[in-house]
Amino acid sequence: MLFAAEMYGVQFDHLAAVLGASEARARATAARWRARGHAETARLGPGGPWTWLTRAGLTACGLPYAAVPPALSRLAHIRAVAAVRLALESAPGYSAGGGYWRSERRLRARLGGRIGLREHIPDGEVHWPDDAPVPWAGECWAIEAELTPKTAGRTTAIMRELLTRTGDYGGPAAEARAPGPPRHVRVIYLCSPAARSTVTRAREALGEAGARIEIRHLPPGAAMPSPVRATR
């Protein structure tokens, strides 16, 4: 339930991956949540149904988010970010390092309704404890999932903003860009084939600072399934 709450909503195949069970089992689990009034399920777009938490479910999880279904215009993006999180959390190095995923929804909630305008919010942050047995202990990474290419200029501006931010989200505006070390030690970009060239060009435009940006392909299962067509 926490995963579904943090990611706005989750599709049944991803829920099955989170639970480590079959899709039928995930469906039954979602039905149980729904029966208790903790979640809603519906077929919102292509692929399997989605489940998301109701107000009662969010209260049960102790999360202060608005109980809304995943926005239709963002389904593909939400699915891609969930796939990225699943892929990262399934890596042995992630659990060994004790990584902690801080979702975009949590970051937005910290803004308390002050919807980011000029302020860009990453799709997630990964925090590594100081005493983690990995070389990157203590770092904070920004995670970005890119499905469709933006303009190179806009992407460069977002990268620069993420790399130069110093303060936490929801803190005083004056601390967002204050003298001191940057908040995000690195930015991990997970790109679709269509967006990759733009992101690469944008990183090159940053020069030396681009060394703190890692670009990878989106993991399998990130793409929204094509709409099912009737077959004879």
| Residue 185 touches another protein, criterion: CB under 8 A | yes
Rule CB under 8 A: choose which of 80, 128, 145, 203 binds another protein: 128
As a dihedral over the C-alpha atoms of residue 139, residue 142, residue 145, residue 146, rounded to 10 degrees, the angle is -120
What is the distance of C-alpha 25 from the center of its chain? 24
How many CA atoms are closer than 13 Å to the CA of 91, on its beta-carbon side? 12
Comparing CB distances to another protein, the nearer of 188 and 199 is: 188
DSSP reduced 3-state for 44: coil
Residue that the structure tokens 């943090």 belong to = 6
Identify which of residues 87 and 199 has a Cβ nearer to another protein in the complex. 87
State the minimum distance, in angstroms, from the CB of residue 10 to another protein: 18
97 makes contact with another protein (CB under 8 A): yes
In this structure, what token pair is assigned to residue 41? 């399920």
Of 92, 133, 172, 193, the one binding another protein by CB under 8 A: 92
Residue 70 three-state SS = coil
Determine which residue in the list 13, 23, 40, 168 makes contact with another protein, applying CB under 8 A.
168
Q: Which is nearer to another protein, 29 or 187 (CB)?
A: 187
CA distance 10 to 153: 32
Query: CA 139, CA 102: separation in Å to the nearest integer?
Result: 13
125, 140 Cβ separation under 8 angstroms: yes
Question: From residue 10 to residue 49, what is the string marking binding to another protein with x (rule CB under 8 A)?
Answer: ----------------------------------------
Among 32, 43, 177, 204, binds another protein (CB under 8 A): 177
Sole binder of another protein in the list 46, 49, 170, 221 (CB under 8 A): 170
61, 101, 128, 226 from 185: Cα distances, Å: 30, 15, 11, 36
Q: How distant is the alpha carbon of residue 31 from its chain centre?
A: 25
How many residues lie near another protein (CB under 8 A)?
Answer: 70
The footprint of another protein (CB under 8 A) covers: 55, 64-69, 71-74, 84, 87-88, 90-94, 97, 100, 102, 109-118, 127-130, 134-140, 163-166, 168, 170, 177-183, 185-186, 188, 190, 206, 208-209, 211-212, 214, 216-219
